[in-house]
Structure 1
Amino acid sequence: MTAPDRPQIRVCLADDHALMRDGIREMLCTDAKFTVVGEASTGPEAVAVCVRLRPDVLLLDVEMPGLGAAAVVRQVGRSAPQTRVVVVTMHDDPDLVSELLTAGAVAYLLKTILRDELVAAVRSVVRRPVQNVLLAVSRATVERLDRQRPRTTPPLTGRELEVLRLTAEALSNAQIAGRLCITEATVKRHLTNIYAKLHAVSRVDAIRKATAARLIKPAPQAPVN
């Protein structure tokens, strides 16, 4: 008994150049798993066709009349949430990549990719929608996006927080060791870990950054005589 065939992947094409739409349609239609159900040449048309036809994937060009690409992505996300937006563009721009992925696009592909790469990308976003976004951009763009990605601070352990709080009270390493019943070498090790996690260069810097991050409370001000 053979397994039933997977349903076709329904695709809409949004590009203001008819020749580009024709080329992408021909590439996709060589694979029986794809069917192009609609086309658009402006931003508003792209949103409308997704709302009306509910395709699995919208292949979206960046530069079209009427709406910016990010606005199209957001509107499709609200009005046709089952449609996954794949950006296909000539622009290898990390700022644009970041903007469109933040808006909700699930892939960002350059028009220089090969047919097999396009087909694989579209299949992937349909079959594994919860996976990370797909990128087909230059290495320089990927590296810049990585530098722009916010870095999260690793959490301090309970003991590291105790050491940090006592450090903020201006206790010496020896005093902290006595208070916590640990060795002074252990205190130094905890401080080294704290500096690394907070990207701090000194006790004062660590206290300042931890206070700003609300990991510890500000030290009480000494009374003024």
Structure 2
Amino acid sequence: MNEPIRLLLADDHEVTRAGFAAMLADCPEFSIVGQAVDGRQALELCQRLNPDIAILDIRMPQLNGLATARLLREQQPSIKVLLFTMYDSPDHLEAAVNAGAVGYLLKDASRQEVIDGLRQVAAGQCALNGMVSAQLLRRVVQRNQGGAPGSALTPREHQVLGLIAAGLTNREIGEELGIATGTAKAHVERVIGKLGVADRTQAAVQGIALGLVAPLEHRA
């Protein structure tokens, strides 16, 4: 039997934490291993517990969720960050993506949307609120004066970006496209450079947030 996905929940409202825990109570695939009331406590617990996913509210005392996400990206990059927030604005989504979050869900999301989002993040994919992502896409298009975001990507690089978003490794991308692992790695590096991001995770998040690709199911 697979080990449950280990979650760290950080929110300064006890009612929110209790509600989230109750929502997952009958989901054995998830285990909440720790709860924090602010960002600093979240960092301390992450150091001690090393969860698979840190679920952070944006607005918290001591250290907000965005700052906490940035520090986790630097200190424990293996931990995936999902922002669970009431802010349905492209400003906050863009800031979350830039901070290293791979998930952005609203607190009014349905139970199934939350569970699906956690599953996507755990599988190496991205979970972004669709409505807010669409608003961010419109903003980026306007910022680029009508140019489509990612228009500099070649057709092959669009394929590679889609496979990155699906959570495939360089070797798996090579097998999927029938190319050498080294060639796949070079394509991945070019995609990262053209999108102006720091790593493949950020490339996947940017690609999905900006509508360049849709998440694909990982092929076993």
Q: Shorter chain as normaliser: what TM range? A: 0.5 to 0.7
Supply the distance in 1 between the matched residues of 2:153 and 2:56 (Cα, whole angstroms). 40
- In structure 2, relative to structure 1, the CA distance for the partners of 1:17 and 1:144 (3 Å cut) is same
Residue number among 83, 87, 91 corresponding to 1:91 in the alignment: 87
The TM-score normalised by the length of structure 1 is 0.61
Supply the distance in 2 between the matched residues of 1:101 and 1:125 (Cα, whole angstroms). 14
Matching residue's letter, 2:76: A
For structure 1, list consecutive stretches of 5 or more residues without a partner in the other structure. 157-225
Q: In the alignment, does 2:94 pair up with 1:103?
A: no
Q: Percent identity?
A: 35
Matching residue's letter, 2:30: F
Matching residue's letter, 1:136: N
The 5 Å alignment of 1:45-194 reads 45-127=41-123, 129=124, 131=125, 133-138=126-131, 141-149=132-140, 151-154=149-152
Residue number among 18, 22, 25 corresponding to 2:21 in the alignment: 25
Matching residue's letter, 1:124: Q
Query: Residues 85-119 of structure 1: CA distance to partner in whole angstroms, max 9, x if unpaired?
Result: 11111110111110111110001000111111111
Specify the SS of the correspondent of 2:63.
coil
Q: Is the 8 A contact 1:12 1:38 kept in 2?
A: yes
Query: Residues 4-32 of structure 1: CA distance to partner in whole angstroms, max 9, x if unpaired?
Result: x2211000110000111011011112101
The TM-score normalised by the length of structure 2 is 0.62
Q: Is the 8 A contact 1:108 1:137 kept in 2?
A: no
Query: Residues 154-190 of structure 1: CA distance to partner in whole angstroms, max 9, x if unpaired?
Result: 489xxxxxxxxxxxxxxxxxxxxxxxxxxxxxxxxxx
Partner of 1:42 in structure 2? 38
Moved over 2 A (4+): 141-144, 147-156
Query: Residues 183-213 of structure 1: CA distance to partner in whole angstroms, max 9, x if unpaired?
Result: xxxxxxxxxxxxxxxxxxxxxxxxxxxxxxx
Supply the distance in 2 between the matched residues of 1:155 and 1:32 (Cα, whole angstroms). 41
For structure 2, list consecutive stretches of 5 or more residues without a partner in the other structure. 155-220
RMSD over equivalenced CA pairs, Å: 1.8
